[in-house]
Structure 1
């Protein structure tokens, strides 16, 4: 069967239907990638590129690989365990201490990650409208996000995120291509495995830790399993579409992170520009596209930051509520498995959305410094998260044939060791 489109051309209904179904099924990955991608990637990748060129590209490559492995194992555990456990339930059945740790860690990181996201979104909005009131603009963003996610309108969030992801990707990809990336330098940096001497305000080690924290160690990696549940992906039959969806999300992440890094290395670094504010990144686009490029950057930056706040405000309260219900099982018996029915869910949502506004007050750390510091702090939780995941994803009684293969076990073990080593090095440098 065929139908005629508005241009008078015949289009296959079958192929159109398949395409529509494919696009519809890409929801959880889009939500997840925009919970991952935001100020953390925007700042850490641009600072790394501007200060160190491609010398630390290997850090990004390793982090993205670890992110895929960690999140894929988390998603598979939730889909395939024979007791219907959520990802946090998997941790909690190992030891109650995991639930307590994730409850406190999610509260802290939900607050801090939204802190720099809201701060950045407010600054971007204030710059776009020409009003020197970033605090008021941050408050406006928080109110808008509350109206969007407070009613649990998943389909609306999904549609908004798809559009904003496309806008952000095109903006940075276009600039990265026009800047003429040094592919040889990228390849050399990817296999270089070295930490260069400190340059600029932010040291090489803290930047490397921030990249690892923003990508591999982020607690936002817990987002996908919860969004899958919202989508209705709940059993082993969804394992294949989940993996493909995650591959799509990670590929988008590679493109965006690489594009941002190239902008830092090919435009900011040669022109002696440091990434101290969002204006410094806007200047990069202005060099190539004039005033239009400047507006393109700030619209894209605001879109990214707004979408990231929305994604985190959607997912973090679910993780926190889940942790609370494993600490206090009676709450799950009383309110069921729908997190929104637990009255505390609303308060957790308000906590991760409203309390971060204190970081937008005058006198608080600047946006770039706050972003790098918070993402570096993510490394603290990575050893606990990866070690717990390594144990529970090898439990035969829960997963049977869906247990880890040898490569996944090796990668999780390496992630634990890497996180411990990086945390030790960072601590030594700070104390020294």
Structure 2
């Protein structure tokens, strides 16, 4: 679930561009990004298992200010992300079937995701996602294998260095590996899986580490493709998710039309698995938020998969964003999305530091020195990244 949701088209393009521009010089950043997310998600999972509370219950215990931030954020985020995810999923389909208009595929993707999540319990939903991850693995890793990378060149990228002009790419790759708001959904998936007490702590840590090993494999594969196929040939690709369409064209020219089409299927799997993960995981977070706001007891049926508030957010993710599919993204909404979104990762890291070092977490499961150093560095990194994202969001909107 973590790998499927955390690796979307945007993450693949960010890493592909890094490989295209700097070869293997930023491979160490991919490893760093995975380590950052392992530390962060382990903290979220540890809090959930140790306290048997959701992350939102933890945030509420820190004061009303957490709800004042999180409420507007999850509403604005869902509206913009819904359209973005639908369009990203539609791009490879429209390339495979150019006679069908892009908005038709976008809306169909959202509706299919809606139906699959609405009518599936967690176990069925997890199986569907596993198939999509398998398709991603075969196509994305297959593209890297096709390029026959030089192992010594790849290993040289593990030596930390920051080439001139690469700082934005460093931040985008390290910060983008493995998701944003979906990191906080991990504790909810643990609960739905049936892992809800401290006795599952060991398996949670193994699960979390393996999730980011798989994520790392995907992202390293795209860096290899960027380095071997684009950097060495001096080729450039389109920005945004369309970069994967450009890559499919390059793969078709180099290795045949069939593989280009196969890669487009992998692009679709990466995007559609993100739809399913977000439609499920973030709907659970919203349901928990509303449940607490209305005084419902923890774990109330209205706040679980298939519950009333879960379905309300699922509707919000699917239908209002269709407006953006047709009319584009209004400037004020995008600015709010960028500003609120930039603060989410620092918000998660800092609140976890607070929760895991206080009475909110049982003594045996609180942070030790090494945990505090790791999570502190993660928080510092995401504060720096937030400043960069804010500057980028404001400059994009103001022209």
How has the CA–CA distance of structure 1 residues 341 and 400 changed in structure 2, closer, same or farther, with 3 Å as cutoff?
same
Counterparts of 1:77-88 in structure 2 under 5 Å?
Answer: 77-81=47-51, 84-88=52-56
Instruction: Provide the C-alpha distance between the structure 1 equivalents of 2:266 and 2:312, rounded to a whole number of angstroms.
Output: 30
Q: Which residue of 1 aligns with 2:295?
A: 330
Distance 1:127 1:41 in 2: 20
User: What is the Cα deviation at residue 426 of structure 1?
Assistant: 5.3
Asked if the contact 1:113/1:374 (under 8 Å) is kept, the reply is no
TM-score by length of structure 1 reads 0.81
Which residue pairs with 2:61 in the alignment? 93
- 1:296 match: secondary structure: helix
- Is structure 2 residue 204 aligned with structure 1 residue 242? yes
Residues 5, 278 of structure 2: 8 Å contact kept = yes
CA-CA distance at 1:168 after TM superposition: 0.9
Q: Is residue 237 of structure 2 the alignment partner of residue 274 of structure 1?
A: yes
Deviation at 1:374, TM superposition (A): 7.6
1:291 aligns with 2:257: yes
Looking at structure 1, the residues matched to 115 and 226 of structure 2 have their Cα atoms a distance apart, in angstroms, of 35
* CA distance 1:383–1:217, shift in 2 (3 Å): farther
Contact 2:139 2:263 in 1 (8 A): yes
- Give the aligned partner of residue 7 of structure 2: 37
Q: Distance in 2 between matches of 1:259 and 1:67?
A: 18
Aligned counterpart, 1:113? 81
Distance change >3 Å, CA 113–CA 279, structure 1 → 2: same
Task: Tell me: CA distance 1:185–1:422, structure 2 relative to 1, closer, same or farther (3 Å).
Answer: farther
2:169 is aligned to 207
CA apart distance, 1:121: 0.8
Aligned 1:298-313 pairs, distance under 5 A: 298-313=264-279
Residues 121 and 341 from structure 1, CA distance in 2 versus in 1: closer, same or farther, beyond 3 angstroms?
Answer: closer
Partners of 1:304 and 1:329 in 2: how far apart? 36
2:136 paired with 1:168 = yes
1:147 aligns with 2:115: yes
Q: Structure 1 residues 189, 108: closer, same or farther in 2, change over 3 A?
A: farther
Residue 25 of structure 2: SS of its match in structure 1?
Answer: coil
Closer/same/farther in 2, CA of residues 225 and 426 from structure 1, 3 Å limit = closer
Partner of 1:412: 375
Unaligned residue ranges in structure 1 (runs of 5+): 1-30, 198-203
Structure 2 unmatched ranges of 5 or more: none
Kindly name which structure, 1 or 2, has the bigger radius of gyration based on alpha carbons. 1
C-alpha displacement of 1:387: 0.7
